[in-house]
Amino acid sequence: MAIRVSAPAKINLCLHVLGQRPDGLHMLDSLVVFLECGEWVELRKAAQTTLRIIGPQLENMHLTEDNLVLRAAHLFPAGCATEIILHKNMPIASGIGGGSADAAATLKAMGQLWELPLPRIAEQLALGADVPACMESKPVLMQGVGDLISTVQNIPPLYVCLVNSGEAVSTALIFNQLMSKSNPALDPIPNAHSDWLYWLTQQRNDLQSPAIMAEPVIASVLSQLQEHNPIFSRMSGSGASCFAIFETLEAAKTCAQEIKHSHPSWWTATGPFITN
């Protein structure tokens, strides 16, 4: 029996850095959504735990024992030997949750395959701050160090174009370059769709400016997205992926196609919000 679980792309629609704890971890306030595009893992019981990577990003992956998928699998008892296939489609270190989404999908698939409870949130966080949010794969408010997750309702059904120039960005470097680590929290999220987009424009990604300082091409990506008149655009996470929101899937696909035509080496993807 094989279990396949999707690992959807994650977007930080906004990301406020509220402070830094003595242990170095950052306190966050972020509205996170997921798209109906991304990656998947497929698991089946086996004599030993192995990981095989396939897909368009295979050549950019270096398989080591520190791989988040293998680390996620090893959170289960030693007797749970599993063959894992990872279809890798998203760029590495791109701010859209690739490794964290893969780890979360692996945890969910392992739980189903072996009929065991999922690891505690502290163990999930040891894999990465985004993993608990990626376990939800639906709109959530991510707070604390990623350990406080609450479901968000009334996110409008919109469509996204994702663009990544191919530059891997170090999350640790971006946080270190952040000028202020004590910033205001998110404003209360409105209930009405009509107020939501205006609210979004009033929030921030506190990591966008330091990311642009580290990789100026991010500013170019955002400029390219803006040329297609989206409802809204911003960088996701610590970068380097950027997103533009549209009212229709056709508009999102047109944006992706035209940017890909102008910049063949850039990675693009499109998809709707997963709203429930």
Residues annotated as part of the active site: 10, 130
Distance in Å from the first CA to the final CA of the chain: 28
Q: Distance between CA atoms of 221 and 158, rounded to whole angstroms?
A: 20
257: amino acid identity, one letter: Q
Asked if 20 contacts 181 with a C-beta cutoff of 8 angstroms, the reply is yes
How far, rounded to the nearest angstrom, does the alpha carbon of residue 209 sit from its chain's CA centroid?
19
**If DSSP codes are grouped into helix, strand and coil, which group holds residue 150?**
strand
How far, rounded to the nearest angstrom, does the alpha carbon of residue 229 sit from its chain's CA centroid?
24
Q: Distance between CA atoms of 91 and 103, rounded to whole angstroms?
A: 15
